[in-house]
Chain A
Amino acid sequence: MYRFIQTLLMALFLIAAATPWVRAEEGLRDLVNALGEAKLSNMDEHIEALAKTGDPKVVPILEALGEGNLYARKVDGQVFLTTGSGSKLALTDPVSGESAGEAPKAGLQKVKVNNSVRRAVRTALGSLTLLSQDRNARLKAAKSVLQSPDADALDAIENALAAEKDAEVRALLEQARATTLLVSDRPVEEKKQAVQTLKEWGGGDALSVLSSALGSADEALKSDIEAALVGLEQTQALWAAGQNVWYGLSLGSVLLLAAIGLAITFGVMGIINMAHGEMVMLGAYTTFLVQEVVRNSFPGLFDWSLAIALPLAFLVTGAVGLAMERGVIRFLYGRPLETLLATWGISLILQQSVRTIFGPTNREVGNPSWMSGAFELGGLTITWNRLWIILFALAAFAALLFLLKKTPMGLQMRAVTQNRRMASSMGIRTPWVDALTFALGSGIAGMAGVALSQIDNVSPNLGQGYIIDSFMVVVFGGVGNLWGTLVGAFSLGILNKFLEPYAGAVLGKILVLVLIILFIQKRPRGLFALKGRAVEA
């Protein structure tokens, strides 16, 4: 008994809940069908009635009406949305949005439209979406009216603006109003204000709106628009330059990361390590392996995968570097050209090993959530991964500088590289310092590989792309000078990005190479060269 009452109540409740929905559905269908019978003269009343429902389903119906795609079936007066052309049309039920089969054109009656109907449709559409309850729908509507300004929508925009509370939508509506105002037949005074609004708004869109308005504007307005345009172009150029600087910094940080290990092995120790790029590559593959393990076993830790990979990459490549130094390079001290050849051989072996183990194709290394996406800063678009890489490169640089200048290990390294015999007679075990310094340089290259795996393809050829650039950075900055490497990396990065718009990416790079070659002629020892007798000895 109790159960029966419960079921009954529930059924009643369901009916009660469902009824208004059903009723609304039916009401909408009636309103739509009414369109089929309406005359052109009273069409706008019907449109208004439809718009008043505030139902989002009305939007496609009205759009179809405006475009002349609304037909009534002659048999039962049912109104459908249609697509296609020719003798048969595909029908879509306006309320359910479901397909309603096909019908011959002869059996259908087009719902009549003329310009005044179209205007009414547009206004209704604008206000319908601009007044929507859903903030996102309003935002979308505001954006769409902004993109295709139409003088007829101006009233709707102003109505919406009066009611709008949300700051972001408001700002968009203001812009939309100004943009629309310029194409309307409002008085010049209002238009002048609109020009000011647009100027404050700034950006490339305002620029294009104003320059297109310039052609049709009357004399009184022209000077205003021109002045606004000049101001806009200047700020625009400034932001573009700023964006270029940002790209340049980003490229510079990549160069710095790739070169910083080399600044130790080549700059401080004087070893030409052609396998340096492969150390970067090994670091990237370490990241790949770490992510594989994390994905398969500890998916929750994925955001931490890079933090785990960093020390591991340092250890892996450091160990490889140590083995290289002990096994090959130490026999070649004082013969830089031979070192170059031997390390090139090692780079071939490392590349082929990785190719044999992991295959020749690119490996997928994912971005943790905190490294994906972008944000806007004024007129700049800044991606998180680039920002993190710049910060990481600077941090690595600072750490290295600290290590070299402030720790006993760094002191020993500098002592050995400056005067090996003296250092050894003071009790420093020079062979081990050599080995550890080389391992340090290689380890840093591995850490660079972790960072570069985020923005580059992880393939066996990864290192090849960096080796020439990083040598250029070290040579350009001045061998043996860490600060030179920093300045060299960022100035080459920025120079590259400023040449790109004029010369294209490839030609820009060629130009940079040629400039560096010419620069080395002028200052064979780089930007921050040491002078005097000691260097030449």
Chain B
Amino acid sequence: MITLFLVKSLDRTIIIAVAILLALAVLVPALNLLTAPDHPLHVPIYLVSLFGKYLTYALLALALDLVWGFCGILSLGHAAFFALGGYAMGMYLMRQIGARGSYGNPLLPDFMVFLNWKELPWFWYGFDMFWFAALMVVLVPGLLAFVFGWFAFRSRVNGVYLSIITQAMTYALLLAFFRNDMGFGGNNGLTDFKDILGFNIQAAGTRTALFAASALALATSLVITSGIVRSKFGKVLVALRDAESRTRFLGYRVEHMKLFAFTVSAMMAGVAGALYVPQVGIINPGEFAPGNSIEVVIWTAVGGRGTLVGPIIGAILVNGGKSIFTAAFPEFWLFALGGLFVLVTLFLPKGVVGTFQQYLARRRAYCVAARKNEEAELAAAEPTAAE
């Protein structure tokens, strides 16, 4: 059953994309670790982490695409799931610091000592173990998405209303995580990480491994997402996106379908966040800002929603552009981003990949028609030639 599910998920585009990601997972670390720093093919370590960050963004965009592109749910709260996954990982990394913090407390992270806390809050228990933290990375965002979605979809909150309340959700979380007494480091968030799974987090080896892990996670998620959207379940998702009440009257529990997709998507976003945090070295409440969630939407839109590789390409394009732009003309990045929002919605609603696919399909149709014409002409010409 599972194999069938996986086999179905692999079409040409997905195979190529997965192959590229796997190649990157091997090649980029190799080019960093095995070449001398002055070698022309050497990839400096800061670039490895930068690309690793892009890959986690791409995973986040892919997660959003599952609900927005295929299910019609425009979530403006996906950065919240991303940040929750990031916080879960951050808590593990904080516990790994141990007595090496500035206050040297073996149990309490620095910010708790600073706030004069005497003991570890209950929700920090277990985060010293990697497996537990890894479980929380998917469980916490998944659970929030499940509870939120259960309420929202059951009462048929749709379209822009849903978008607005997902935005309210992430805004509420933003305010909550800014509070010092929440126990998540308040304004400053979690930072000063030392090591992960016993490896120094600053070391080139660890950072390239994190890059490879991000590429693998993205490839795996791509296969899973592709399996989902190509299954009958995926067809139901598209069906309810286009005609929700028709789907209901066919006997589908629309709310269950949406809830499943939303929860899976939130879990993927959580994984993305968990891979993001060790690569950038910090997680703070700013990640919950409503603007971040909307930015994810534009990555997906630029690449092409409803296509699977689109969001990945979009995330990398926009963020690559952002890195270059903010270095060259920091003043103008917001103009560029704002302009991108307007131009993409007006002129490129299907995104780069969607438009390209459309062009391919049209050319194929044109070729087929041309061939038919040619045959007809030949057929018409034959008798004359025979004469």
* Chain A interface residues toward B at CB < 8 A: 272, 274, 328, 331-332, 336-342, 344-349, 351-353, 356, 468, 471-472, 475, 506-507, 509-510, 513-514, 516-518, 520-522, 524
Contacts and interface: CB of A to CB of B under 8 A. Distances in A.
B294 A472 contact: no
B337 A345 contact: yes
Given A341-B297, A348-B341, A352-B335, A518 B151 contact: yes
B74 A337 contact: yes
A521 B255 CA distance: 13
B334 A352 contact: yes
B102 interface: no
A468 B168 contact: yes
Given A328-B346, A348-B341, A352-B332, 13 more contacts: A332-B345, A341-B345, A342-B341, A345-B340, A345-B342, A346-B338, A349-B338, A468-B167, A475-B164, A517-B169, A524-B155, A524-B157, A524-B161
Interface residues of B, number: 43
Nearest to A349: B338
A340 B157 contact: no
Contact of A356 (B161, B172, B176, B331): B331
14 contacts: A272-B160, A340-B74, A340-B160, A341-B344, A344-B294, A344-B341, A348-B334, A348-B335, A352-B338, A506-B178, A509-B172, A509-B175, A517-B148, A520-B165
Contact of A342 (B163, B331, B342): B342
A349 B343 CA distance: 13
A340 B341 CA distance: 10
A342 B346 contact: yes
B320 interface: no
B201 interface: no
A345 B297 contact: no
B266 to A, nearest CB: 16
Contacts of A509: 172, 175
Given A328-B346, A345-B339, A336 B169 contact: no
A339 B167 CA distance: 16
A279 to B, nearest CB: 15
Please classify the interface of chain B as helix (H, G, I), strand (E, B), loop, or mixed, using the class held by over half of its residues: helix
Interface in B223-258: none
A315 to B, nearest CB: 24
A521 B335 CA distance: 37
Nearest to B169: A517
B294 A520 contact: no
Interface in B319-361: 331-332, 334-335, 337-342, 344-346, 349
B70 to A, nearest CB: 14
Given A349-B335, A468-B167, A506-B179, A522 B172 contact: no
A521 B342 contact: no
A111 to B, nearest CB: 49
B161 A520 contact: yes
Given A356-B331, A522-B155, A340 B163 contact: yes
Nearest to B332: A352
